[in-house]
Amino acid sequence: MSSGKHVCVIGAGIVGASSAYALARQGWRVTLVDAHSVPGEGVSKANGAQLSYSYVEPLATPTALRSLPAWLLSADSPLRWRPRAEIDHGRWLMSFVQACNWPRVQQTTAALLSLSSLSRDTLHGWLDALPAEQRRALHHERPGKLVVYRKPPAREQVARQLQWQAELGCVQRLVEADECRTLEPALAVTGGGPISFGVWTDSEEVIDAAGLTRALAQASGAQMVLGRRVASLDTRPGQGVVAAVLEDGNRVEADHFVIAAGPQAGDLLRPLGVRLPIEPIKGYSVTLPVVDAAAAPRVSITDTGRKLVHARLGAQLRVAGFAELCGSDTRIDPRRIEALCRAVEQTFPGACDLTAPSPWAGLRPATPSGRPLIGATPQRNLWLNVGHGALGLTLAAGSAMLLGEAMQHGAPSLQAQPFCYV
């Protein structure tokens, strides 16, 4: 127990809400602060909804590096990059390129698989503790995930990856095109080119990220300071951070501070000399009402050709994808939404009402290597839980546990060491 010490968690996305929940269960008195008036309105709002416990390979791979020129030159590419004359952007790109080698990819994948496994066990425990009605509203299901490949050349590489991941405890199997259609009958009439093969992972789950964030924030019992942006952190020599200073001049004083501010985390820390290697990578989703249940997928489908994920959330289908390195602009490009709707109609014709899409865009807080930053900073009472990139929903519960352990013992556990900033 932490003898009732007071911690201020800045950021009430899935990572901050999970941190608040884990710390409150350890005995901390928690204050949760967010600029939005409701938890889960940042990038945790309408993401791909995948609890993607077995698919944690980072973006930075030699294959991605080789594909970059073709992606950047293609008009309908899933990737967009607007170069910026900013030192941090240049540094991030250089570190990204350095991370694109197989030994680094394997180290990162192994560390993330261990964290995702902790996350799954932790989240299951947390969900069991929620009232049944609240839990039902989260659409938490285990439909399994089918990753569909339409180009055969990837097959050998995919088989090698599956074999390696099997050694780390991931149960997945390569399935032929016919079995893809058996596992998900809605694929029987799919467009977008013939299916070559697929990878089936029985254990993958889905959940409504915004609903989960709100539920954990509420269940943490934290004092909420919502609709208030933290403008700066007040530090004193020898004492570390003494207060989070709000935009209106009010202060939240506490013994410890956790930065869980997602893609905006760097803004708060830069004045303290802490430079986070986090690049906002914009992605989009549409959520569509399902009008023909038999034509819509029940299992989660990842279409590797289009780089899109599909998740069924109750009576809705969520489709998400795209990666744009274009700064912190969260405006929605209608062409991206049209492309998502078109892809749904091609892949699952007649499944959804395309006249009523709920469009969304958010910024993945991405580190170059794909590893989040969890634990201590050079300030004695300032902690990080940031940089979860494309996997924040999946990794939030485990990350909160590692953070809690580090704060309790003053040192990271062995499992947390790959994610340390200092």
Which of 30, 43, 123, 403 touches ligand FAD (CB under 6 A)?
43
Q: Cβ 41 to ligand FAD, closest distance in Å?
A: 6
Residue 240 beta carbon to ligand FAD: minimum distance, rounded to whole angstroms: 18
The CA distance from 379 to 12, in Å, is 22
Using DSSP, state whether 384 is helix, strand or coil.
strand
Give helix then strand counts, H and E, for the chain.
11, 20
Rounded Cα gap, residues 328 and 390, in angstroms:
16
CB-neighbour burial class of residue 328 (10 A; exposed 0-12, middle 13-18, buried 19+): exposed
Choice from 7, 9, 12, 111 touching ligand FAD (CB under 6 A): 12
Nearer to ligand FAD, 42 or 398 (CB): 42
Q: Interface with ligand FAD includes 307 (CB under 6 A)? A: no
Pick 313 or 393: Cβ nearer ligand FAD: 393
Q: Binding to ligand FAD by residue 79, rule CB under 6 A?
A: no
**Residue type present at position 208:** D
Q: Which residues of 213-226 are buried (b: 16+ CB within 10 A; e: fewer)?
A: bbbbbbbbebebbe
7, 31 in Cβ contact below 8 A? yes
Q: Which of 10, 1, 22, 6 is nearest to 129 (CA)?
A: 22
Q: Does 36 bind ligand FAD (CB under 6 A)?
A: yes
Cβ neighbours, 10 Å, residue 76: 7
Rule CB under 6 A: is residue 10 a binding residue for ligand FAD? yes
Would you count residue 80 as binding ligand FAD (CB under 6 A)? no
Q: Contact between 365 and ligand FAD (CB under 6 A)?
A: yes
- Is 362 near ligand FAD (CB under 6 A)? yes
Stretch that binds ligand FAD, among 73-81, 143-151, 250-258, 392-400 (CB under 6 A): 392-400
Residue 30's CB is within 10 A of a number of other CB atoms, namely 25
Give, as ranges, the residues between 244 and 273 that touch ligand FAD (CB under 6 A). Answer: 260-264, 268
Binding mask 266-305 for ligand FAD (x = CB under 6 A): --x--------------xxx--------------------
Q: Which is nearer to ligand FAD, 264 or 316 (CB)?
A: 264
Q: Which of 404, 402, 398 has its CA nearest to residue 120? A: 398
Question: Would you call 29 exposed, middle or buried from its count of C-beta atoms within 10 A (0-12, 13-18, 19+)?
Answer: middle
Indicate whether 406 belongs to the interface with ligand FAD (CB under 6 A).
no
Using CA atoms, how far residue 68 sits from 78, 95, 97, 233, in Å, is 11, 15, 11, 39
CB nearer ligand FAD, residue 44 or residue 196? 44
Separation of CA 415 from chain center: 19
- The reply to whether 130 sits near ligand FAD by the rule CB under 6 A is no
Closest to ligand FAD by CB, 277 or 349: 277
Rounded Cα gap, residues 146 and 36, in angstroms: 35
Stretch that binds ligand FAD, among 42-50, 111-119, 125-133, 287-295 (CB under 6 A): 42-50
Q: Which is nearer to ligand FAD, 14 or 187 (by Cβ)?
A: 14
- The pattern of x and - marking residues 308 through 327 that bind ligand FAD according to CB under 6 A reads -x----------x-------
* Closest alpha carbon to 8 in 26, 25, 29: 29
For residue 400, state whether it binds ligand FAD (rule: CB under 6 A). Answer: no
C-alpha 333/C-alpha 335 separation (Å) is 5
Stretch that binds ligand FAD, among 160-168, 187-195, 339-347, 385-393 (CB under 6 A): 385-393
Query: Does 57 sit near ligand FAD (CB under 6 A)?
Result: no
CA distance 392 to 209: 10
Residue 321: strand, helix, or coil: strand
Query: Is 33 near ligand FAD (CB under 6 A)?
Result: yes
Interface positions with ligand FAD (CB under 6 A): 10-16, 33-36, 41-44, 47-50, 52, 229-230, 260-264, 268, 283-285, 309, 320, 362, 364-365, 388-394
